Amino acid sequence: MIDAQRPTSYERMPNTACEQEFAILLEPSANRVYSENAVNMLRAEVGVFDEFLIDGAIGNVRVSTVAAAPCLRFSADGLTKRDLDCLANLSSSYVLFAVHDELLMPVAGTPLDRYDHDLLSILKYRGKTNEQFTKLLMNVTAATMNSVDAYLNRQLRVLDPLCGRGTTLNQAIMYGWDAYGIDIDRGDTGAYRAFISRWLKDKRLKHTLRESRVRRDGKTLGRRFSAEFAESKEEYRADRTQLIDVLTADTLHAADLHSGRGFDLIVTDAPYGVQHGAVNSQSKLSRNPSALLEEAMTGWSAVLRPGGSIGLAWNTRQTSRQILEAIMSAEGLQVVEGDHFQGFHHRVDQAIDRDLIVARKPHRRDPSA
């Protein structure tokens, strides 16, 4: 296991003023249970950003209110434009204010979001993961790569190996990243194909759709649906495109399905054992996802690039953090520890208590070192 380390990839701008007070007003959530936990999870998310992306500039983080609305207050010393851009992507943040004598002044960063929010909100179905939590899970996983430049400036490659109907994929697309998914349920992947095809057409985005079989050693492993698209025709002609790639296949074959690929991030929800169960290689259905994760983690680790991170959400009523840590560690992944990672546990409903765990794949050592 590893402890959180602060990035050293850029220098902080000199601060000529005293420490500044800030407040984050939370975005309203239609999910009442999630909104009750959102401010505490936001506090943990801010802590992760501070450790990995913002060079330890934030302190005295606390839950407060603006009028009757919940908010998060913190102090900061010399925030840069990059810092504000990172904070603009916080999962439950609505508006960031600088506080002057209890008067609020909006502070604008530039979020990664490229498209209309309906990309995330249109699809409604039983068992869908809350969009704000999906964003939080992706943020925390991406932050632990320990590179603010990668988070803000690179077109990351994201794999959800249990993608369902694509909530994680859509969040990756929203950020301008490439989205890859695997799911064995053809009903779910078919529903996602229909949605994203219609969405691309409705938004008048220049795109190309493709479908094919995936074969290895003479055997068919699954079917692929892909879409290459861009924000404008000019971007498309210049080959500045994004990619969606969804495979209807068994995630246990991830290493064969994506042989030679190196994903920056793997972000997924383990089956919670309520709406979705877990099926292992013996085709046994279980509410406990541990057997599936133990078998699948070998392939997932193989397609994660050195320096990349994997973030996993799971139902703590079905398996324990200790079991997941052991599964990840057995594949050479380094579980990220720290006080902030204790702040994400929350209740979803009477059958689900959810938490997240993140691990990094270490860089290969230089044999000449």
C-alpha to C-alpha distance for 105 and 171, rounded to whole angstroms: 29
**Domain end call among 51, 81, 106:** 106
pTM attached to this predicted model: 0.89
**Domain end call among 106, 139, 174:** 106
Q: Is residue 368 part of a domain?
A: no
In this structure, are 204 and 305 located in the same domain?
Answer: yes
CATH of the domain at 336: 3.40.50.150
C-alpha count within 13 angstroms, C-beta hemisphere, residue 32 = 0
Question: Euclidean distance between the first and final Cα of the chain, in Å?
Answer: 23
Alpha-carbon distances of 143 from 23, 86, 87, 151, 206, rounded to whole Å = 21, 10, 12, 7, 31
Confidence (pLDDT) at 215: 87
Range 19-33 average pLDDT:
84
Range 239-250 average pLDDT:
97
Q: Is residue 366 part of a domain?
A: no
298 CB burial (10 A radius; 0-12, 13-18, 19+): middle
C-alpha to C-alpha distance for 207 and 289, rounded to whole angstroms: 37
C-alpha to C-alpha distance for 172 and 160, rounded to whole angstroms: 10
Q: Is residue 334 part of a domain?
A: yes
In this structure, are 78 and 151 located in the same domain?
Answer: no
C-alpha to C-alpha distance for 298 and 29, rounded to whole angstroms: 36
How do residues 280-313 score in pLDDT, each as one tens digit?
455 554 557 899 999 999 999 999 999 999 999 9
Confidence (pLDDT) at 86: 97
**Domain end call among 52, 77, 106:** 106
User: For residue 137, what are the domain limits?
Assistant: 118-360
Q: Give how many domains the chain has, as a whole number.
A: 2
Answer whether residue 30 shows pLDDT above 90: no
C-alpha to C-alpha distance for 16 and 203, rounded to whole angstroms: 45
C-alpha count within 13 angstroms, C-beta hemisphere, residue 247 = 23
How do residues 62-80 score in pLDDT, each as one tens digit?
999 888 888 999 999 889 9
CATH of the domain at 43: 3.30.70
Q: Is residue 112 part of a domain?
A: no
Alpha-carbon distances of 283 from 105, 250, 289, 291, 323, rounded to whole Å = 57, 11, 13, 11, 21
In this structure, are 100 and 236 located in the same domain?
Answer: no
